[in-house]
């Protein structure tokens, strides 16, 4: 294998070539012959590949606005020395660990912080730090499945795909609920399906920020609907998927609380999204009485109700450090700033005559999809049918928003310069009041 030849193909895009993809996988293939790489020159080439990869990521970072990842880290250098150790938090977070190489103390400290935020006493909750929002949803719904084995899972069609994955994995009967035009669960459709299936318990997924539109389901109204339909507290289980907005709503005045003082069963949140962590992670908390008692596994000196078993021991430390540095005051400021910046982007798009929607308390701005895939790639935009969105995370400044807006307006002149191509009608996607297509303008 000639590493030099492969390395030459690993190109870092310049500002003018920012649409270029990251390093092709074929250029990173590994040799099965050890002698091919065991020399100083080859190791230098490996270092060069990694250096170029780092440069590429650094250049692309300011264009990462379409997916909900907070890349604004302030503490990676401080915590980097930990990488010389293997930290594995296997087993129950609250059980003693058979080795010294773990971070369970940090894990429990983080869990206690979220338990306090969501108003459940230390001795009343159980939870763990997951690999991400998907695992949190899988565990939350697993708890509901074990608690109500014959229960039907109700989830809106705008729910994260992990909810439907859980239904398949656990062979749960599923009722998909329609959504309102803004992405919220359709409460009338939910009620009608609950009434039809009153003979079976209900396991309900509530979205605290849907994946694409950032819609927030009304937890209080869903609880009231269950009661109106005759479901007693022991005949339903509510899981709250708060992956993105779970760290925004608690710090915004007039936003409805997510709290265990209400009859919910579990909450999951992503740690790498709004809070920010260099590796995917999440926090899952449920009521202690809902977790099945598992027999003790002797060789790890612990029970294990987690899905993953072995868990990244670095994640709790990053989360603990970030929460300690930010505190409630900084998280509140981040929440307010992101919401204000999302409104700023929405207003700029609206003034330019571009179809756009922004839900209350959301940082996800939905607008008409670009005509050019290169533009979508350049800005790392997430898209669905005729829509695209920007998730205004901490670290996305108004300067970044202005740069995106300027680029978008320049591209739109080119896309629609012939006068024949028109922006899509998005009235069915997010409401006629938010659609600025020529047809809607003519009728308004």
pLDDT tens digits, 313-346: 999 999 999 999 999 999 999 999 999 999 999 9
| 67 domain-assigned | no
Is 240 found in the same domain as 304?
A: yes
Kind and range of the H or E run holding 108: helix 104-117
Q: What would the mean pLDDT of 29-55 be, rounded to a whole number?
A: 75
Distance CA 75, CA 124 (A): 32
Distance CA 151, CA 385 (A): 33
The range of the structural domain enclosing residue 14 comes to: 3-59
Is 202 found in the same domain as 166?
A: yes
Question: How buried is 58 (Cβ within 10 angstroms: 0-12 exposed, 13-18 middle, 19+ buried)?
Answer: exposed
Q: Per the structure, how many domains does the chain have?
A: 3
- The tokens 């708060």 sit on which residue? 242
pLDDT of residue 22: 55
The residues with which 283 forms a beta bridge, in sequence order, are: 129, 269
Is 352 found in the same domain as 214?
A: no
| 74 domain-assigned | no
Is 116 found in the same domain as 99?
A: yes
Instruction: Identify the domain boundary among 326, 358, 388.
Output: 326
Is 183 found in the same domain as 295?
A: yes
pLDDT tens digits, 367-392: 999 888 999 999 999 999 999 999 99
Sheet containing strand 364-368, strands side by side:
356-358, 364-368, 387-391, 382-384
Instruction: Identify the domain boundary among 303, 326, 349.
Output: 326
| 310 domain-assigned | yes
Question: Which of 103, 268, 270, 362 is flagged as catalytic?
Answer: 362
Is 125 found in the same domain as 93?
A: yes
Distance CA 305, CA 326 (A): 31
pLDDT of residue 3: 39
Instruction: Identify the domain boundary among 273, 298, 326.
Output: 326
Whats the size of the chain, residue-wise?
444
Cβ atoms 301, 97 nearer than 8 A: yes
Residue 208's nearest CA partner among 175, 257, 279 is 257
Is 352 found in the same domain as 240?
A: no
Is 294 found in the same domain as 200?
A: yes
How confident is the prediction for the chain on average, in pLDDT? 89
SS3 for 237?
A: strand
pLDDT tens digits, 123-177: 999 999 999 999 999 999 999 999 999 999 999 999 999 999 999 999 999 999 9
Distance CA 79, CA 75 (A): 6
Q: With a threshold of 0.95, does the pTM exceed it?
A: no
pLDDT of residue 27: 67
114 backbone dihedrals φ, ψ, rounded to 5°: -70, -35
Q: Identify which has the larger pLDDT, 60 or 32.
A: 60
- The tokens 């999951």 sit on which residue? 268
Is 222 found in the same domain as 159?
A: yes
Is 278 found in the same domain as 230?
A: yes
CATH number of the domain that 392 lies in? 3.90.1150.10
| 69 domain-assigned | no
Is 341 found in the same domain as 255?
A: no
pLDDT of residue 437: 83
Residue 362 a catalytic site member: yes
pLDDT of residue 49: 87
88 backbone dihedrals φ, ψ, rounded to 5°: -130, 115
């Amino acid at each position: 294998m000639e590493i030099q030849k492969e390395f030459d193909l690993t190109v870092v895009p310049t500002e003018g070539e920012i649409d270029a993809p990251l390093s092709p996988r074929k250029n990173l293939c590994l040799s099965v012959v050890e002698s091919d790489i065991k020399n100083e020159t080859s190791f230098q080439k490996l270092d060069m590949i990694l250096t170029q990869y780092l440069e590429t990521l650094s250049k692309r970072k300011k264009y990462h606005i379409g997916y909900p990842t907070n890349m604004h880290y302030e503490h990676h250098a401080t915590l980097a020395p930990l990488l010389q150790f293997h930290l594995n938090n296997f087993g129950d977070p609250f059980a003693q660990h058979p080795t010294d190489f773990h971070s369970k103390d940090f894990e429990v400290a983080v869990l206690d912080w979220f338990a306090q935020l969501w108003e459940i006493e230390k001795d009343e909750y159980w939870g763990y730090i997951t690999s991400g929002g998907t695992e949190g949803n899988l565990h939350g719904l697993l708890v509901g499945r074990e608690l109500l084995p014959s229960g039907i899972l109700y989830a809106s069609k705008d729910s994260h795909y992990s909810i439907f994955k859980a239904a398949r994995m656990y062979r749960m009967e599923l009722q998909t609920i329609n959504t309102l035009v803004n992405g919220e669960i359709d409460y009338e459709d939910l009620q009608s399906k609950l009434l039809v299936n009153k003979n079976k318990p209900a396991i309900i997924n509530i979205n605290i920020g849907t994946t694409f539109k950032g819609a927030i389901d009304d937890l209080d109204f869903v609880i009231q609907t269950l009661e109106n339909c005759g479901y007693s507290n022991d005949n339903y289980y509510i899981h709250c998927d708060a992956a993105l907005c779970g760290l925004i709503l608690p710090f915004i005045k007039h936003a409805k609380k997510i709290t265990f003082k209400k009859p919910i069963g579990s909450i999951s949140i992503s740690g790498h999204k709004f809070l920010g962590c260099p590796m995917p992670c999440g926090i899952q908390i449920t009521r202690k009485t809902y977790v099945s008692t598992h027999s003790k596994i002797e060789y790890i000196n612990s029970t294990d109700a987690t899905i993953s078993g072995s868990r990244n021991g670095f994640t709790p430390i990053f989360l603990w450090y970030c929460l300690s540095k930010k505190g409630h005051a900084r998280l509140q400021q981040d929440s307010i700033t992101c919401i204000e910046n999302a409104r700023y982007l929405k207003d700029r798009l609206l003034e330019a005559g571009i179809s756009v929607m922004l839900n209350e308390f959301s940082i996800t701005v939905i607008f008409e999809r670009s005509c050019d895939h290169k533009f979508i790639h350049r800005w790392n935009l997430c898209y669905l049918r005729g829509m695209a969105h920007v998730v205004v995370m901490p670290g996305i400044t108004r300067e970044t928003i202005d740069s995106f807006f300027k680029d978008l307006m320049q591209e739109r002149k080119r896309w629609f310069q012939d006068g024949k191509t028109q922006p899509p009608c998005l009235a069915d996607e997010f409401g006629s009041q938010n659609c600025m297509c020529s047809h809607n303008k003519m009728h308004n």
